[in-house]
Structure 1
Amino acid sequence: MFRIRRIYDNTLAIDREAIEQVQQILRSQFSAISESEITSLAQKLSNPLKYRFRTILFIADDMKLRVKGFALLNHAPDLGFCFLDFISVDPKAAASGVGGALYERVRDEARTLGDNGIFMECLPDDPKICQEEATVKQSRARLRFYERYGALPIIHTAYETPLKPEYDCPPYLVFDDLGSGQPLARATAREVVRAILIRKYGKACPAGYIEMVVASFADDPVQRRGPRYIKKEPIKVHPVKSLEKLIGLIVNEKHDIHHIRERGYVEAPVRIASILKGIEPTGLFERLPARHFSERHIKKVHDPKFVDYLNQVCTSLEPGKSVYPYVFPIRNAARPPKDLPVRAGYYCIDTFTPLNRNAYRAAKGAVDCALTAAQLLEKGYRLSYALVRPPGHHAESRVFGGFCYFNSAGIAANYLSREGRVAVLDIDYHHGNGTQDIFYQRNDVLTLSIHGHPSFAYPYFSGFSEEVGEGAGRGFNRNYPLPEALDGIGYRPVLARALKRIRAFKPHFLVVALGLDPAKNDPTGTWSLSGADFEENGRMLGNLRLPTLVVQEGGYRTRSLGTNARHFFLGLWTGMHGNNRR
């Protein structure tokens, strides 16, 4: 078993380890490559402009993170072509389809980038120009492999001219038209060949060599050799969906144990079913089970006394009974009452968020989902979604409220902050007061919230624009309170401002607290965003091209939840994986 995934940079430990394994394969299987070129791989991934190629690395690894093969693709965005620099498979894995899966992924990437084909070099299969019998044998196997996809050597040119007369086995230039059947124009080929020789070989080419080779491309269109090994039509290729193109979906499976039927409680289990019905038919999601995590992750974000209280009071309540806070410690907050139900007001900010026997368990399950989804980003996914209830963004470090008990997005952001900077963007209709409170004095987690102005929207006492953080965190909290009537056209310029701040922060991860309550006719909001608006918002977020965890928050109009969620994730995926990718 193996999986295909893209390595974007060396930020994550899992990717650093993979890059090191690829470098070892290069050393062992490609003796002609210099050590400096091998060691520069990580820098090429993170700083492509320096090398005039955008380096794209795909690996095939197993569940123990052992690299079974890799493909190193160079993209020239200025000329719109791809050059396959290396593709290599562990000999032990050669019969398992690793090579084919990698090459299919490379072809899919070239199509996504809008390129018309892939160029690559292959040592000759002709003993007249290659004296090494073993090399000829290996080249025949490689060219047979490429012929399956319609990739063939270009002929009638001087590309095979060695850099020095004494050199043996000069490479063919092979071209794969990606099955388009479109001829390769001479002018295009000349531009591509000049770029390959200058950018790949540079000063190693003797004077006049590059222009001689370029001028030798005289046929228009360029001609390719006929098939020698595969006599039938090229195979039909099905695009390979590698790991980074899947959205890891973690659902709080037992969320429905927390179901309140009284007082018009809108945070109901049907919300999850409505969203799943909307998103699963897209085929973008890979549903995975939640892991269970220690309570210590919660206590790193929430006051341990608050966490223990929530556990104790919920456990002590009779099944079916709910306690609503009704006495609040304005006069003497330092002395909470002994009776646990009465003490609820000591840890709550409103009178409509109940405690019952299952509140703690459901909230803990939501945290497990968010942490599992956060781990997926560490394992190579670029997008993950924790579909949870109850929500969490109103839960502060030591209080609950707004249907929220534990701040799942905040706990996940704190977990990811071990790997690097994190930006948390809250796009729920209501201010993310809990997330603001948790990170208000920290500068490694940037918190931003776009919401209805607290003069009319819950939680009323926070979310003002002048709340910018304290101490080390000053300047790392941003609030964007907006007017009571708002549509998508009015919303997007504000979102653009928030994204500009995120780009300036240069985070390693993005956590999105997704509220679908900005939608038209949501019972808890006043805005009128449509499905198309959610899609465009998602696309703008995806254009950040950051590993992104989405944690579900509000959204209570069940008739439109699925539609709006589907549009949001379609936009997010398109923004992340559109043509102008990093």
Structure 2
Amino acid sequence: MKVILSDDHRAHFPDGEVYEGSFVRPFECPERWDHVVAALDAAGFVDRYEPQPLALDRVVRIHDPAYVEFLRTFWEDWTAAGHTGDAIPTMFPVRGLRNDRVPVEPDGRLGYFALAAETAITAGTWQAASAAAAIAQTGQRLVAGGSPVAFGLCRPPGHHASSDQFGGYCFLNNAAIAAEGFLVDGADRVAVLDIDFHHGNGTQSIFWERADVLFTSLHGHPADAFPYFLGYEDETGAGPGGGHTANYPMRPGIGFDAWGTALGDACRRILAHRPDALVVSLGVDTFEGDPISFFRLAATDYLEVGRRIGALGLPTLYVMEGGYAVAEIGTNTVNVLSGHLEA
């Protein structure tokens, strides 16, 4: 198992986030990375790689160039306007407002490109987000080059980032960038399996009209869980992408039996798609002890998750998404990877 990681993630750590009416310490924190690395060390996952330089020409195949430029330069504009704290969006182009004009003033521009108010931009956001995307690209190249499986320890995560919006702790969509990379490098079809607790709204929207990428997602029902406004079963794609999106929303309290049934169906859809490569958005916030989810998977269940994905027999890249039970994130992540190798 090749592992790609970078210390650049530490550059991004906001002072806090808005959660249930309070300003709290961010759940998406650097310690998550530390615990995963410690578990990788303990399990003997020592084949480590630093990411290659970010290929921006591939990033803009997924993300609007104006959005990428916003992420790259916004902190300079924010501080030039006299702001000293983290940039937290507070105004959005919601129903009844125009979204065809990008404001010049930094607060307006921030809201234009934002999905939600819990995600702040800091002085080091671009450094960390671009490194996470570079990790995904490097892992993709390793798998495309013949490695059967790799793990990109991406932080910040990416699956909530759409072509031109950040939110849900995400800025660049690492999984989508990797999937597109496989296609650029010669794959005819790719599948994305999102097993994070939260729906991968960004990935779904990016590939909504694409037939060459199958998107499948197992997640908390949007009636109950972030991001609330996408992730229903009747969302199946549009145009050439019709039938190439499959959502498995599930209600509070479900354990591995029901969740595993959904995984089995998703795996059958993946095999029917006949992909040349598989990208797994690996979130372990489905864990029973996670502070911001409501599924009930146990630590040992993640071994079986990995076995089932490994049994697909596909060249596979795992990219890290969520998981906020910090003390257990390492064990749960490594269990998935270990199960994959057992398959």
TM-score normalized by the length of structure 2: 0.93
SS in 2 for 1:450: strand
Query: Is 2:25 the counterpart of 1:261?
Result: no
Query: Is 2:197 the counterpart of 1:440?
Result: no
Where do 1:182-197 residues align within 5 Å?
none
Give per-residue Cα distances to partners, 1:375-432, cap 9 Å, x unaligned. 1112221110110111000000111110100001100100101321110000000000
Change (3 A) 1:556 1:431: same
Structure 2 partner of 1:125: none
> C-alpha distance in 2, partners of 1:572/1:400?
31
Judge conservation of contact 2:3–2:151 (CA < 8 Å) in 1: yes
The percentage of aligned residue pairs carrying the same residue is 36
> C-alpha distance in 2, partners of 1:568/1:373?
17
> C-alpha distance in 1, partners of 2:225/2:258?
18
Give per-residue Cα distances to partners, 1:343-380, cap 9 Å, x unaligned. 11111111111112211121101000000010111222
Judge conservation of contact 1:317–1:356 (CA < 8 Å) in 2: no
Where do 1:184-333 residues align within 5 Å?
247-262=1-16, 263-264=23-24, 265-318=26-79, 321-330=85-94, 331-333=97-99
Structure 2 partner of 1:388: 154
SS in 2 for 1:355: coil
SS in 2 for 1:529: coil
Judge conservation of contact 2:14–2:121 (CA < 8 Å) in 1: no
Q: What is the aligned-residue RMSD (CA, Å)?
A: 1.3
> C-alpha distance in 2, partners of 1:440/1:450?
17
What residue identity is the alignment partner of 1:312?
Answer: T
Judge conservation of contact 2:284–2:322 (CA < 8 Å) in 1: yes
> C-alpha distance in 2, partners of 1:395/1:480?
20
> C-alpha distance in 2, partners of 1:301/1:376?
20
> C-alpha distance in 1, partners of 2:304/2:77?
46
What residue identity is the alignment partner of 2:4?
Answer: I
In the TM superposition, residue 320 of structure 1 has moved relative to its aligned partner by 6.3
> C-alpha distance in 1, partners of 2:180/2:318?
14
In the TM superposition, residue 285 of structure 1 has moved relative to its aligned partner by 4.1
> C-alpha distance in 2, partners of 1:411/1:546?
18
In the TM superposition, residue 252 of structure 1 has moved relative to its aligned partner by 2.6
In the TM superposition, residue 341 of structure 1 has moved relative to its aligned partner by 2.9
Judge conservation of contact 1:317–1:357 (CA < 8 Å) in 2: no
Judge conservation of contact 2:129–2:156 (CA < 8 Å) in 1: yes
> C-alpha distance in 2, partners of 1:566/1:248?
13
Judge conservation of contact 1:447–1:478 (CA < 8 Å) in 2: yes
* Structure with max Cα Rg: 1
What residue identity is the alignment partner of 2:12?
Answer: H
What residue identity is the alignment partner of 1:483?
Answer: R
> C-alpha distance in 2, partners of 1:479/1:532?
25
Change (3 A) 1:320 1:553: farther
Judge conservation of contact 2:310–2:341 (CA < 8 Å) in 1: yes
Where do 1:530-545 residues align within 5 Å?
530-545=298-313
> C-alpha distance in 2, partners of 1:388/1:378?
19
> C-alpha distance in 2, partners of 1:365/1:273?
16
> C-alpha distance in 1, partners of 2:299/2:55?
38
> C-alpha distance in 2, partners of 1:432/1:518?
14
Query: Is 2:115 the counterpart of 1:349?
Result: yes
Query: Is 2:328 the counterpart of 1:574?
Result: no
Judge conservation of contact 1:320–1:357 (CA < 8 Å) in 2: no
Give per-residue Cα distances to partners, 1:444-485, cap 9 Å, x unaligned. 111000000000110000000111001000000110001111
> C-alpha distance in 1, partners of 2:340/2:233?
27
Which residue, 258, 267, 285 being the options, matches 1:499? 267
> C-alpha distance in 2, partners of 1:452/1:479?
10
Change (3 A) 1:431 1:543: same
Which residue, 133, 136, 154 being the options, matches 1:367? 133
Judge conservation of contact 2:54–2:131 (CA < 8 Å) in 1: no
In the TM superposition, residue 306 of structure 1 has moved relative to its aligned partner by 1.0
What residue identity is the alignment partner of 2:333?
Answer: A
Which structure exhibits the higher relative contact order, with contacts defined as CA atoms closer than 8 Å and separated by 6 or more residues? 2
> C-alpha distance in 2, partners of 1:378/1:334?
38
Structure 2 partner of 1:416: 182
> C-alpha distance in 2, partners of 1:321/1:382?
44
Structure 1 partner of 2:104: 338
TM-score normalized by the length of structure 1: 0.55
Judge conservation of contact 1:388–1:551 (CA < 8 Å) in 2: yes
Count the aligned residue pairs: 329
Which consecutive unaligned segments of at least 5 residues does structure 1 have? 1-246, 576-582
Which residue, 468, 483, 507 being the options, matches 2:236? 468
Structure 2 partner of 1:516: 284
Structure 1 partner of 2:164: 398
Give per-residue Cα distances to partners, 1:3-35, cap 9 Å, x unaligned. xxxxxxxxxxxxxxxxxxxxxxxxxxxxxxxxx
In the TM superposition, residue 488 of structure 1 has moved relative to its aligned partner by 1.1
What residue identity is the alignment partner of 2:119?
Answer: T
Judge conservation of contact 1:531–1:568 (CA < 8 Å) in 2: no
Which residue, 249, 272, 280 being the options, matches 1:481? 249
Judge conservation of contact 1:313–1:341 (CA < 8 Å) in 2: no
In the TM superposition, residue 261 of structure 1 has moved relative to its aligned partner by 2.8
> C-alpha distance in 1, partners of 2:122/2:7?
19
What residue identity is the alignment partner of 2:109?
Answer: R
Judge conservation of contact 1:367–1:406 (CA < 8 Å) in 2: yes
Judge conservation of contact 2:15–2:86 (CA < 8 Å) in 1: no
What residue identity is the alignment partner of 2:65?
Answer: P
SS in 2 for 1:417: helix
Change (3 A) 1:250 1:505: same
Larger mean Cα displacement after TM superposition, 277-286 or 323-332: 277-286
Query: Is 2:323 the counterpart of 1:555?
Result: yes
SS in 2 for 1:495: helix
